[in-house]
Chain A
């Protein structure tokens, strides 16, 4: 099942990348990042079946980082929304010269 898992995971990752590049809603972009993390998790689990259970431990850590990232990222989005009244990324260009 390794090749199949890698195939599904790569397609999911690709969908996530395309979503990040084509959407402007900050929350949707953020969820695409979560989708990419999930795709990588699938790779880890698939390899864990062949190379030993350590891959599943890494998935554990990835999930922890994803949870922390979701908390901080959503707080940033809320702070941005308070500042700009929008989550449209093309309007959030404070760093543009």
Chain B
């Protein structure tokens, strides 16, 4: 979307989806039932996809819905159901007071970083002229601006990714396979 001065519609929806994402993430970490937690995390990922679209990353938004919400979280759900962990009452899994204090301290440190970050200035020299990405998307469509650098500048990284995926597939199969001795028992 090309914009010189951000319309209220845009700003409102950006904040709306941001607040939904944070609220769902809070609900996600506080749920005791793993299934409910997964569903809240899916909600977070949907609102993040909406934010990506608002930030001119349409293709990334689609991939977020397809890969994260559609594939990765479904695998999590499968594992929860495979291991029959869906019952909330069996695992009361909040850690003790010491861990909560440590988590609170780390959280406070990260919040302090938030305020430092929001005050930071973007180096003007590096920044592109305003609306460059939006104009690119308007001119070439949503996918071509990503495909260009992906298959030219970052081709090596792209190829190495295939090795990573192969290693992951082999590793998952080896780890998930039952041992012969386990069969016998």
Residue in A1, A60, A65 whose beta carbon sits within 8 Å of that of B54 in the complex: A1
Contact A11 B95, beta carbon cutoff 8 Å? no
Q: A18-B103, A52-B132 are in contact. Are A64 and B161 (CB under 8 A)?
A: yes
* Contact code string B50-82 (vs A, CB < 8 Å = 1, else 0): 011011110110011001100110011001101
* Contact A22 B100, beta carbon cutoff 8 Å: yes
> A21-B106, A35-B41, A49-B56 known; A57 and B146 CB under 8 Å?
yes
Does B2 have its Cβ within 8 Å of any Cβ on chain A?
A: no
Residues of chain A within 8 A (CB-CB) of B89 are none
Interface residue range, chain B: 35 or more
Residues of B within 8 A of A (CB): 6, 14-15, 18, 21-22, 25-26, 28-29, 34, 37-38, 41, 44-45, 48, 51-52, 54-57, 59-60, 63-64, 67-68, 71-72, 75-76, 79-80, 82-83, 85, 91, 93-95, 99-100, 102-104, 106-107, 110-111, 113-114, 117-118, 122, 126-128, 132-134, 136, 145-146, 148-150, 153-154, 157, 161, 164-165, 167-169, 171-173, 175-176, 178, 182
